Amino acid sequence: MKTILVPTDFSPSANNAAKYALKIAQKVKANIKLCNAIKVPAESVFAAQVAWPLEDIEHLKDGSAAELIYLKEVLLQQIDNESGSFRPAVQRSTGVGSVIDYVRNIVYDDHIDMVVMGMSGANTFSRFVLGSNSRDLINKADFPLLLIPKGHDYRPIKKIGFATDLSGTDINALHSLANFARYFNAEILVSHVLQNPGQDQKQVDAFLSDVTCKVDYPHIYYRALQSDSIKNGLQWLTENGQIDVLVMVHRDHNFFNNSYTQKLAIKSKVPLLVLPSGFNKFLI
Task: Say which CATH number the domain at 34 has.
Answer: 3.40.50.620
Residues 182 and 138 grouped into a single domain:
no
- 164 and 138 fall within a common domain: no
d(CA 89, CA 62): 22
* Residue 282 lies inside a defined structural domain of this protein: no
Q: Is residue 69 part of a domain?
A: yes
Considering 148, 169, 195, which residue would you say is the last residue of a domain?
148
In 10 A of CB 186, how many CB atoms? 21
Q: Are residues 42 and 100 in the same domain?
A: yes
Direct distance between the N- and C-terminal alpha carbons of the chain, in angstroms, rounded to an integer: 10
Domain boundary among 119, 148, 177: 148
79 with 73: CB under 8 angstroms?
A: no
Rounded distance, CA 278 to CA 274, Å? 12
Q: Which domain holds residue 272?
A: 159-276
d(CA 104, CA 5): 10
Residues 167 and 219 in one domain: yes
Q: Is residue 243 part of a domain?
A: yes
Q: Is residue 283 part of a domain?
A: no
138 shares its domain with 27:
yes
Do 32 and 144 belong together in one domain?
yes
Tens digit of each residue's pLDDT (9 = 90 or more) over 211-246: 999 999 999 999 988 887 777 888 888 888 899 999
Nearest to 250 by CA among 268, 276, 271: 276
Residue 215 and residue 171 in contact, taking contact as beta carbons nearer than 8 Å: yes
- Domain match, 66 and 182 both: no
Looking at the fold, whether 127 and 13 belong to one and the same domain comes out as yes
Q: Could you tell me if residue 281 is inside a domain?
A: no
Answer yes or no: do 56 and 124 share one domain.
yes
pLDDT, one tens digit for every residue, the chain (284 residues): 899 999 999 999 999 999 999 999 999 999 999 999 987 655 555 444 555 566 678 888 999 999 999 999 999 999 888 877 789 999 999 998 888 899 999 999 999 999 999 886 444 344 333 335 666 787 788 999 999 988 899 999 999 999 998 989 899 999 999 999 999 999 999 999 887 766 678 889 999 999 999 999 999 999 988 887 777 888 888 888 899 999 999 876 554 554 556 566 556 789 999 999 889 898 99
Q: Are residues 82 and 188 in the same domain?
A: no
Please tell me whether residues 7 and 144 are part of one structural domain.
Answer: yes
Contact 264, 238 (CB under 8 A): yes
- Asked if residue 284 belongs to a domain, the reply is no
Residue finishing a domain among 148, 182, 214: 148
The distance from CA 117 to its chain's CA centroid, rounded to whole angstroms, is 6
Q: Has residue 42 been placed in a domain?
A: yes
Residue 153 lies in a domain: no
Domain count, the chain: 2
> Are 12 and 140 found together in one domain?
yes
